[in-house]
A and B are shown apart, each in its own frame.
Chain A
Amino acid sequence: MQRHPNQLKGSLYWIAASAVGLLILNYLVATDALDWYYAGVLSTAGIYIILTTSLNLINGITGQLSIGHAGFMAVGAYTAALLSVHYDTPFVVNILAAFATAAVAGLVIGLPTLRLKGDYLAIATLGFGEIIRVVIQNLKVTRGAFGIVGITWVDNLFYTEIVVLLSVVIIWRIVNSATGRALIAIREDETAAETMGINTTLYKVMAFAIGSAFAGVAGALYAHRMTYISPNDFTFLKSVDILVMLVLGGLGSITGAVVSAFSLTLLPEFLRFIDEWRMVIYPLLLVVVMLFRPQGLFGTKEIDFGALGAAFRWLKSRFGGAVGSAPQRTVETASPSSGMQTEVQTSSLQPAGVQPDLSGQPGSAAVAPAEPSSRPFLEVNGLSIYYGGLKAVSDFNMSLPEGALHGLIGPNGAGKTTVFNMLTGLHPPSEGEIRFRRKRIDRLPPYRISSEGVARTFQNIRLFKDLTVLDNVKTAFHMNVGYGFGASLVRPPSYGVKERRVTSEAERLLEILGLQERRMELARNLPYGEQRRLEIARALATRPRLLLLDEPAAGMNPQETASLMELIRWIRDEFALTILLIEHDMSLVMRLCERITVLDYGVTIFEGTPDEVKRNPRVIEAYLGQEAN
């Protein structure tokens, strides 16, 4: 997501531009410069803009493939039509009612179907779209295939454009807030999103319901423009039209959706001269665009005034000669060889001016050493999990005091990551209980466990690959942004303050992990070691009490590993964390961890201090095999 540095200024530009646009349009219609036919075409374009941006919220932003959008449009259209015909209610009431009924339809359909993924979800939405149409066709109140005639005629382009503007602004604000970041996180990696404390089911259903609601609004506009609707206006082909506009504009780009919906509605008007071949050329064009620009015209980028300015400067530099202000390019400085930059960062990340203790004495700084007698911070009893007949982990026990730095080791396939999956709720255990700060968490969904204060990194890195480094961390602040959904719509002054605070805190975390230089790069372009550090930064952003690190040093060179070790210890003290880590690098584990648990074939074979572990014959046997007699 490209975001304008100054949001307020950016949106003022937009408001001014749209106001001017509306005034011009109205002037043209009022003076008959624009005849009623083209005014009608523009209204249709507006309706398609709403449909496309609302579908974008579901398909592009949240990544849930829905291809039955016309069904919700039908719900809204029939709501408005019936109200208008039977009760003669005003336009505004009909629009709001259409919004509500379509939202309810979206909720009812979204709740069961959003458990499905990808193509299955697509087919289910297609199915529901068709069922809605067949139901309308068979109901008495909707007059079946005859349709409804005599809907009040509201063809004021001005009203239409106002509704369009409102819809687009609302969707824009949803997308550019913590809610939007959560939705994008779901698109990028649902499992990782869940461990960042995002209730993925809730957000998916919410996006689906809101998207459907706006499709209903578009339907109501349509009904009031046509004055006649029938089930055949809302076939699968209508859904396809909307989907095509969305994908051509670029999935995930709101401005792309607007531009594409607008131009694709107007395009057939320009293709009129080849009238009878129009319907052949349109799909041909579609296939050709997909072949040569698969990501759509805009990709996931947005046009904003910053981009327009940059384009203008580029044109000027290209053709005008004078390179007054060439677009600034971030210089890709090579990452420091040590990778950590511990010295540089520490001075700036300490608001209180406390110099962190980097000498590496565990437990020397912020955290008071845990009382041995106090009730354990994390207590795991008899944890087991079965896959079919396979016991992946059986009777796992563990008890960590607060502030511990504990290692979990074992040969490949011993079940270490499975333990993490159970602790974070991704794989609910078959038996046993987990108590975290006295509270049972073994039956909680992952996002609740995350909000209890458990964060993790993944062995097979699960970053939000197509987001910037900074956005990865900002997304993880989900539970701590301090404002709600309403605030992101209304945007009171406090909203900006809180958003800026999230950004500065995210930048602070990046600084700690030595990723400040990389903050605007896509996560997928980072080298392996930096991706691992970004995962740690992201986990820290959820403000955990317990941090689970799954092979943090994998793929790092000895130098990087050494500085990572310092970093882990320092993080534990600075953030008052308890850390449990899986690692294969024995030198790191032995030097870093205070106690170590050894797993083999899902069974705990030993627990003790590093020295005890090194000497234990069972551990040696598990790692090296039995000595030959």
Chain B
Amino acid sequence: MSRVVASLLLCAVCILLALLRKYRTHVVSNPALKYSYYPALILLAALGINYLLTALGANKVYTFQQAVYGLSLGSVYALIALGYTMVYGIIRLINFAHGDIYMVGAYAGYYAVTVMHLPFVPALVIAMVASSVLGVLIERIAYKPLRNSPRITLLITAIGMSLLLENVGQKLFTSTPRTYPTIFKASYEVFGVSVDQSRIIIFAVTVLLMIGLQYFVNYTKPGMAMRALSQDRDAARLMGINVDRVISVTFAVGSALAGAAGILVGIVYPQIKPTMGIMPGLKAFVAAVIGGIGIIPGAMLGGMIIGVSENFVTAYISSSWRDAIAFGLLILILLVKPSGLLGKSVREKV
């Protein structure tokens, strides 16, 4: 028992150290610690988890297997969450249609692979482009005219677009689920844990896209315009930023990421159907909030946390509790730190 408590404490300390903002600035200023801090923390946490599993007498291979599954599911959530977080950061809208854009991406990828017989990479590009065009269209037609109306109106419109996409999807693709052909067959074994090639791909593509997005937002001109817009739309306009275009670019990029998630989910979880976007959409938004809305690494972190915890709940408790864990975590985070794990808190000016 004491070993369980000790290892839990170790893990908790690691998480706390990773999150403590004040301490981190001190670390970054110290050159010796700057590059070893996070790797050391991760190592320490891994040791703690290993110790915990030994203490609990758990089947380690099974546990790590679940973690691998969780990370690939989490990648999907993370990719969708990135689009949510970008759109929210810029126009403060929970774009409920985002989950359905992901569905359209999955179908675009499906047709690219089956009908056009394209290999993975061109299919991925097609899925991303198709989603991107759809995202921009939705923004232009349904959201742009409402930019100055109450937020709830915009929210309802987004819900309407979401329902519309689902129902048009039912008409266009029929409600019978489609099955992706197997694209990546190989599977590797690492310390007894089987790692499918498809799961490596999904994780790698997600990480690459996130790094690309991080670069785009932080080091390019349109990215800077986006950040300016998310701070103050009117001030950005006065600085000569074409607000409409930046918002369109945001939707384009965010939707492209959802499209990528659509095809990636197809190669690991091959069944796709027109209503597939609802739950992942909601959970991805939850992921974005957990990580800190508007923060790109936060969306990634949140997505992974939800993916992994869902898999653990399914493995150790019951799959029927799976849908509750995301929302349970959400409420916990909102009550403890409403601005999200990586978010900054703001004070209202009176």
A interface list, Cβ under 8 A from B? 59, 65, 112-113, 115-116, 118-120, 122-124, 126-128, 130-131, 134-135, 137-138, 144-145, 191, 236, 240, 243-244, 247, 251, 276-277, 279-280, 282-284, 286-287, 290-291, 294-295, 387, 417, 421, 426-427, 458
> Which residues of chain B in 150-166 are interfacial with respect to chain A, using CB atoms and an 8 Å cutoff?
150-153, 155-157, 159-164
Q: Does B32 contact A (CB under 8 A)?
A: no
| Chain B residue, CB-CB nearest to A251 | B152
| 8 closest residue pairs by CB, A with B | A127-B327, A283-B163, A286-B160, A294-B149, A134-B324, A283-B164, A287-B160, A294-B153
Q: What's the nearest-Cβ distance from chain B to residue A264, in Å?
A: 13
Q: Is the CB of A243 within 8 A of B156?
A: yes
Listed by A's residue number, 19 A-B pairs whose Cβ atoms lie within 8 Å are A112-B331, A119-B92, A120-B334, A123-B289, A126-B282, A127-B326, A127-B327, A127-B328, A138-B321, A191-B348, A240-B163, A243-B156, A247-B152, A276-B171, A282-B167, A284-B164, A286-B157, A295-B149, A426-B350
Shortest beta-carbon distance from B138 to chain A in Å: 10
**Is there contact, CB below 8 Å, between A120 and B152?**
no
Number of interface residues of B (CB under 8 A): 45
Answer yes or no: B285 CB below 8 A from chain A CBs. yes
Q: Take A138-B318, A294-B150 as given contacts and tell me if A279 and B167 are in contact as well, using a CB distance cutoff of 8 Å.
A: yes
Cα of A134 to Cα of B322 in the assembled complex, Å: 9
Judging by beta carbons under 8 Å apart, are B145 and A243 in contact?
no
Are the C-beta atoms of B153 and A290 separated by less than 8 Å?
yes
Which residues of chain A come closer than 8 Å to B142, judged between CB atoms?
A: 287, 291
Q: Does B320 interact with chain A (Cβ within 8 Å)?
A: yes
Query: Chain A contacts of B318 at CB under 8 A?
Result: 138
Q: Does B168 contact A (CB under 8 A)?
A: yes
Majority SS at the chain B contact face? helix
Name the residue of chain A whose CB is nearest to the CB of B150: A294
Query: Residues of A contacting B168 with CB < 8 Å?
Result: 280
Query: Are the C-beta atoms of B161 and A287 separated by less than 8 Å?
Result: yes
CA distance A127 to B282 in the complex (A): 9
| A286 (CB) vs chain B CBs: closest residue | B160
Point out the residues of chain A lying under 8 angstroms from B157, CB to CB.
286-287, 290-291
Q: For B328, list chain A residues within 8 Å (CB).
A: 127, 131
A290–B156 alpha-carbon span in the complex (Å):
8
How far does the alpha carbon of A462 sit from the alpha carbon of B334 in the complex, in Å? 28
Check if B327 sits within 8 Å of A130, measured CB to CB: yes
Q: Is the CB of B156 within 8 A of A244?
A: yes
Where the two chains meet, the residues of B that have a C-beta atom closer than 8 Å to any C-beta of A are 88, 92, 94, 142, 145-146, 149-153, 155-157, 159-164, 167-168, 170-171, 278, 282, 285-286, 289, 318, 320-321, 323-324, 326-328, 330-331, 334-335, 338, 347-348, 350
Which residues from A are CB-within-8-Å of B171? 276-277, 280
Q: Is the CB of A279 within 8 A of B170?
A: yes
Q: Are B285 and A123 in contact, with the CB atoms below 8 A?
A: yes
Given the complex, which residues of A lie within 8 Å of B159, measured CB to CB?
A: 240, 243-244, 286
A294/B334 contact (C-beta < 8 A), A134-B324, A280-B167 known: no
Given the contacts A280-B171, A421-B350, A116 and B338 also touching, CB distance less than 8 Å = yes
How far, in whole Å, are A112 and B331 apart by their CA atoms in the complex?
9
* Smallest Cβ-Cβ distance to A417: which chain B residue: B350
- The answer for the CA separation of A291 and B156 in the assembled complex, in Å, is 10
B320, A138: Cβ atoms under 8 Å?
Answer: yes
**Chain B proximity of A387: nearest CB distance (Å):** 8
* Chain B residues whose CB sits within 8 angstroms of the CB of A240 once the complex forms: 159, 163
Contact of A127 among B156, B167, B331 (CB under 8 A): B331
In whole angstroms, how far apart are the Cα atoms of A79 and B327 in the complex?
Answer: 23
B-side contacts of A276, CB under 8 Å: 171
> Quick check: B167 and A119 within 8 Å, CB to CB?
no
Could you tell me if B321 and A134 are in contact, using CB atoms closer than 8 angstroms? yes
Q: Is the CB of A120 within 8 A of B282?
A: no
**How far, in whole Å, are A404 and B152 apart by their CA atoms in the complex?**
47
Q: Which residue in A112, A145, A417 is a CB contact (below 8 Å) of B335?
A: A112
Pair B146/A291 contact, Cβ less than 8 Å: yes
Cβ-closest chain B residue relative to A133: B323
A134 adjacent to B320 (CB under 8 Å): yes
CA of A137 to CA of B320, assembled, Å? 8
Whether the Cβ atoms of A116 and B334 lie closer than 8 Å is: yes
A137 partner residues in chain B, CB cutoff 8 A: 320
- Cα A124 to Cα B167 in complex, Å, equals 27
Residues of A within 8 A of B285 (CB): 123
Are B324's CB and A113's CB within 8 A? no
Q: How far is the CB of A623 from chain B (nearest CB, A)?
A: 25
Are A113 and B164 within 8 A (Cβ)?
Answer: no
Minimal beta-carbon separation of A234 from chain B (angstroms): 13
A418 and chain B: residue at smallest CB distance:
B350
- Verify B320–A144 contact, CB threshold 8 A: yes
Among the listed A118, A128, A138, A144, which residue makes an inter-chain contact with B151, where contact means beta carbons less than 8 Å apart?
A118
Whether the Cβ atoms of A123 and B163 lie closer than 8 Å is no
| A240-B159, A280-B168 known; A124 vs B331 contact (CB < 8 Å) | yes
In the complex, the chain B residue whose C-beta lies closest to that of A287 is: B160
Please give, as numbers and ranges, the residues of chain A lying within 8 Å of B289 by CB-CB distance.
120, 123
Q: Select which of A123, A291, A427 is within 8 A of B350 by beta carbon.
A: A427
Enumerate chain B residues within 8 angstroms of A458, measured Cβ to Cβ: 350
Known: A113-B334, A127-B327, A280-B168. 7 other contacts (CB 8 A): A112-B331, A126-B282, A134-B323, A144-B320, A251-B152, A290-B156, A290-B160
Closest CB of chain A to B76's CB: distance in Å?
Answer: 19
